[in-house]
Every structure is written in C-alpha cells, then in structure tokens.
A and B are shown apart, each in its own frame.
Chain A
Amino acid sequence: MDAALTSGQARTVLDENDIARAITRIAHEIVERNKGISGLVLLGIPSRGLPLAARISAQLERIDGGAVPLGSLDITMYRDDLRLRPARALEPTDIPARGVEGATVVLVDDVLYSGRTIRAALDAVSDFGRPRAIQLAVLVDRGHRELPIRPDFVGKNLPTSTDEKVAVRLREVDGFDGVTIMGGVA
C-alpha cells in the first residue's frame, strides 16, 4: 500500500473514476480545439506523463477512429536546476517517426507546478524541429507558477500550498490510480 496514503494527512482528491473521466474530457477538448486529430503528435514527459499520454491517445482513437502518433520526451538534459543535485539518470526519449516538424505537439504531464519542466520541454522539442504549435495537457494544475507557462487542457485544478505534496499514482507505474494531497499546516 502506498505510504503517502497511509501516513500523515494524505487525502484523496481524485480517485480512479475521477481520473478516467478527466482523461476522457481532455481527449474531447483536444479534438474540439484542434478540429480533429490530424497533425497531432502526443509526447508524454516521463515518467508518469507517458502512461497518461498513452491513455489519451487511446481515447482519441476511440473518439475519432484514427491513431495519433505517440512518443516520449525526456527533459532531464534541459532542466535549469541540474547543478542543484547529482546528475540524474536519463529517461527514454522516443519521437515518433513522423517527427515534430509542422505538427501540433501536445505535451502531456501529470502535475503542472512551477512550469520549469514545461519550459525545458519546449526547448527539447525545438531541438527536434519546428512544430506548428505546442499545446499542454496536464492531469493536475496545482498553481504556483514561477514562469509564464499555462496549460491548454487540465484534468483538475487543485489549489495547494507550497508545503503540501501532490502525489499522482497511475496503474501502469504504481499499480493503482489516485491523486492525493499530503502534508501542509494542520
């Protein structure tokens, strides 16, 4: 059982069904906003952005009938906080064969917080080519942006304080689905 759920004051803010509904809604919004799925490329940011992107891709296929190219984009080498910790192990980067040139890239991540991860992702994508547009889909937006970054598609807005921890758990990685908030001033 996940320690974050058993210790402290972890409270569940999204359960399995909430997450499923959020993904369905995000998929619909993507189709609506882009008037279909043509030209779309989904890139999940490891580690939990990957399974989210895969689920969204599956939903898009259910809605529209066609397959959307799906890949992963590791942003470790582009982070602005590298020097603060020992060098981190790299996650996989796998850009679909069609590339990003002229595509509408939808970045997918689990939590949007300071915005620095997405800033790094924008730099990373640019080194692969020049997309027509880049959009951002996140499961949870917990506020406290430190850079001018905003999401296009949000599963849930979660106002938090900075001393709280938001934990996203996904079946593909953690064995179950759930989003919890832990800690904060009692």
Chain B
Amino acid sequence: MRHLLSATDLDAKEAMLVLDTAAELATLTDRSVKKLPTLRGRTVVNLFFEDSTRTRISFEIAAKRLSADVINFAAKGSSVSKGESLKDTALTLEAMGADAVVIRHPASGAPHRLANAGWIHGSVINAGDGTHEHPTQALLDAYTLRERLRQGSGDLDGLRVTIVGDVLHSRVARSNVLLLSTLGADVTLVAPPTLLPKGVETWPCAFTYDIDSVLPTTDAVMMLRVQGERMQAAYFPSAREYSRRYGLDRERMGRLPQHAIVMHPGPMNRGMEISADVADDDRSVMVDQVTNGVSVRMAVLYLMLGGSAESSA
C-alpha cells in the first residue's frame, strides 16, 4: 500500500496481514534489543497539527524500533495563516526527503490533499483527520479484539461490537465501523439521534438510541469520548442527562456478558461517558490498546516502507 488514508484502503486480506505482522512484532517488547534494522535509513515525519502526545509517541516508538529516523513536527494549525501551513510544510518535508509522513490534522481530507496534491512523494499515513477517519486506531482496536476474543488469529467473523458515544464527530467510530465490518464483525452504534450522522442507515452497521437493549448481547463495548462543549450546540441538554442515558457505569457493566471487554480510544472523560471504576475494571482493556498501538503502527510502517515502492492503486 502506498498510503493509508482510510480504513477502506484495506480489504480483509490486507487488514489481516497487518494484524498478523503486528502479532509477530509484538514480541519485540520482550527482547533485550528492542530494535529491528528494517527501516534503517528511512525518514518518518510526524506531522501533527493537533495536540496528541499519545498517538505521536506511539508512532515515534514504532518508527524508531524499526531503526527509522524520526522527525517530529508539531504545528498549531490555527495560529498559522490559512493554507500556507499545510502546503508549505509539505514542501519543506519533501526537501528533507521524508519517506513517510504521519499526519494528524483538524481538517477532514487533509491527508488526501497531502497524498494527491503533488507536494510530496513519500507515503502518507492518516493519524486522524478532523471528524473523518483514524485508520491505525481501528487497526489497533481490531488487534485488541482479536487478541482478547479470538485467541489472536483469524478474522472477527460474527463478533458483536457496540460503539457508544458521539459518532457524529468521531473519526474513530467511522474507521472502526468500516474496518470491523470488513473483518466480519457485527457492529452496532449507540447514540442520541443528534449525535448520529445523516445517512447512518446506509453504513455497514446497525444503530439504536437505547444502550441497555444491546449490552446483554455484545462481546465488546467501545466507548467514545463525548465533549461537554457539545451541550452548547444543543446536541444534548446536559452532561448529567447524557451520562445517565448513555454512560457506562458499574450497573451497566453488570449487564454485559462475562467475557465482554470494554474499550476506549482515549483520552477518557471520566464521569461523562465512562465512570471511573469501570475505567479501572479488569475487563477494561485501554492499556492493552495503547500497547497494541505500537505493534500495529510498526506493522503499518513496515508494510508501507519495508519493501519496494509499489505503484499506488
């Protein structure tokens, strides 16, 4: 693959190749020399126009473990004049010889522009663009689901995944719906009507406004971050009403099947979409998600940069 801009860039076979590769690379953490020489001499640039220490560090560790050189470029998109920020930065990176650019940007479609505008020749990895997609998050979520609920191999056929929260503004939700359905899972979205996008009935998943109706028959619950500011735009009346109707608390945890796990892409709004004690429960796998993020990102970087440059589709 030349670029990873959307979860739809991967079919089932390609997605499982990423997961299988990540599984092999996960063993690296147990070695004394946590390094492979594979991307030696390659330059990976982290181009982050949004604050995100967690994701940036995850990509940085992944690249460095493959012996790539890493350059971190943190730009606040809003303080730089319109337009010049992305294109001029891209031209600078091209001059520096970046083999891959990992980009996080507040504008949906910014990675597409970077990949197609002719500004750079390297590969582009979307680390989150506006409310559009976050493909490596979906990959690490799929990896976590597979590890915990499918003994770490194969696809996710028939796995019942419920995603709860502000789907309308969530790039994590979009990428997950796409990737999980590619891998055969049955996805259900739960949110108030105001937080589901127009046209959600055309998405490859089910949806409901009632969280309690789906919890008893779900294998994994993925809680999305809900920002309190959405109240001001009348998406829901109050934080209290939101958490009462859609929050995951101890009582709702009790209605989950024994084997079910709880996921969250982070950062969490403890008390809003998830209560503190649920966040720290054994069945909550957020820490695993972070660990798996490094392996998955190593796999993506290896598959994109570790071989010859393929012609893009």
Contact = CB atoms under 8 A, between A and B. Distances in A.
Direct contact, A vs B (beta carbon within 8 Å) = yes
Contacts of A83: 307-308
A105 B31 CA distance: 17
Nearest to A126: B33
A82 B33 contact: no
Given A87-B304, A123-B37, A128-B33, A93 B17 contact: no
B306 A87 contact: yes
Contact of A86 (B25, B27, B310): B310
Contact of B31 (A74, A82, A92, A128): A128
B20 interface: yes
Contacts of B32: 128-129
Interface in A47-85: 74, 77-78, 82-85
A87 B302 contact: yes
A84 B310 CA distance: 10
A77 B38 contact: yes
A74 B306 CA distance: 15
Contact of B308 (A77, A85, A91): A85
Interface string A98-137: 0000000000000000000000000100011100000000
Contacts of A88: 307
Contacts of A85: 307-308
Taking chain B's interface residues, is the majority helix, strand, or loop, or is none over half, making it mixed? loop
Tell me the dominant secondary structure on chain A's binding face.
Answer: loop
Interface in B259-313: 302-308, 310
Given A87-B302, A90-B21, A92-B24, A127 B33 contact: yes
B54 interface: no
B36 interface: yes
Interface residues of B, number: 22
Contacts of A74: 24
B150 interface: no
Nearest to A87: B307
B76 interface: no
B134 to A, nearest CB: 22
Contact of A90 (B25, B33, B304, B310): B25
A89 interface: yes
B280 to A, nearest CB: 32
A89 B17 contact: yes
Contacts of B252: none
B308 A86 contact: yes
B37 A90 contact: no
B299 to A, nearest CB: 9
Given A83-B308, A86-B307, A91-B24, 16 more contacts: A77-B37, A77-B38, A77-B66, A77-B302, A78-B36, A82-B38, A84-B308, A85-B308, A87-B302, A87-B306, A90-B24, A127-B31, A128-B31, A128-B32, A128-B33, A129-B32
7 contacts: A77-B38, A82-B38, A85-B307, A87-B305, A87-B306, A127-B36, A128-B31
9 A-B pairs with the lowest CB-CB distances in the bound complex, closest first: A87-B307, A127-B33, A87-B306, A90-B24, A86-B307, A77-B36, A77-B38, A87-B303, A90-B21
